[in-house]
Amino acid sequence: MVFCKQKKQETPTSPVAIWLVEKKRNIKEWWVRQMVKLAGRLSISQQKIVLIVLCLFCCAYSSFLVIKGFTVVNHTKAIPIHSISRPDSRKPIIKCDGDESDEIARMKHLLFVMDSLKNTPSGKPQYDSIVRYRPGLLDTLKMLEEYYKTK
């Protein structure tokens, strides 16, 4: 019983592509014949031992790669781990005065945070992403700030 339809393979039109496809198929068939011969010479218990040895080798190699990725070599980590940090505010969050509303203070704070993102090397990609996906956000904030100033 076939559970999925086989995809129709497009046949290449150039002679070089046809030659390469035939060579690839020949190499695959040769590999299968060699593996069948090898497996035919081994008994069931030997096949199980070979399978266990290969599984252990794969597990050991995978563990080696993971451990190597997190170890320190020459005072640098192969995979650096940077913690997520909140941007430091150079000035405190603007508190509301009697004449400013809470929304104006929040807009000013957002403009301050965006400005600090733009000026730091680690925040520059985040700033560019925000500007790319929300192109009118900063213009709208500045227009609202000017509107509240004139009001």
pLDDT digits (tens, 9 = 90+) for 95-106: 555 556 777 778
Nearest CA to 150 out of 104, 111, 112, 113 is that of 104
Please, are residues 20 and 11 in contact by the beta-carbon 8 Å criterion?
no
pLDDT digits (tens, 9 = 90+) for 28-76: 999 999 989 988 898 989 989 999 999 999 999 999 988 887 777 777 7
Greater pLDDT, 38 or 3: 38
Distance of CA 136 to the CA centre of its chain: 28
Q: To 5 degrees, how large is the angle CA 77–CA 82–CA 85?
A: 160
- 109 pLDDT band, cuts 50/70/90, is confident
Share of residues in the chain with pLDDT > 90 (%): 25
